[in-house]
Amino acid sequence: MEFATYYFTLLVMLASVLAAATCFSAYLVSRSRAMILAFGGFLCYFIDVAFMLQDSIAAVVLGTSAGADAGYLLMRSVATILIGDACLTFFWLLVCDFVGERCRSLMAVPPSRSSF
């Protein structure tokens, strides 16, 4: 089962980085704000999935006790929260751009609610 999970995670990483590259290419051609926001969202998602893959590989290679260090877990949690918040923010701003919302207070709702 770990074999399938590993390759599925790699497939998700490939799909997210390809989506980010496609959005960035479309941004370079069209200079559309929506494309740069989608690029940021997919790139943050790629980094988040890469951190999950790193944790599973470190647990196998270094043993289960290597990932149990309190400092590592704290910093890993902070990084996951910040990257998740950035991913949510990019996609929320993309939705706001899609529906034409320009109210700054509404655009700031997910970043302010999901931050710690």
What is the total count of domains within the chain? 1
pLDDT tens across the length of the chain (116 residues): 677 888 898 999 999 999 999 999 999 999 999 999 999 999 999 999 998 888 777 767 766 655 566 777 788 888 888 998 999 999 999 998 898 888 777 777 766 655 54
Residues 96 and 105: their CA atoms lie apart, in Å, by: 11
* Burial of residue 11, with CB atoms counted within 10 A of its CB: 0-12 exposed, 13-18 middle, 19 or more buried: exposed
Q: What letter represents residue 15's amino acid?
A: A
Which helix (H) or strand (E) segment is 12 a member of? helix 2-30
* pTM exceeding the 0.75 threshold for the entire prediction: yes
Q: Which domain holds residue 74?
A: 2-114
Nearest to 110 by CA among 61, 97, 90: 90
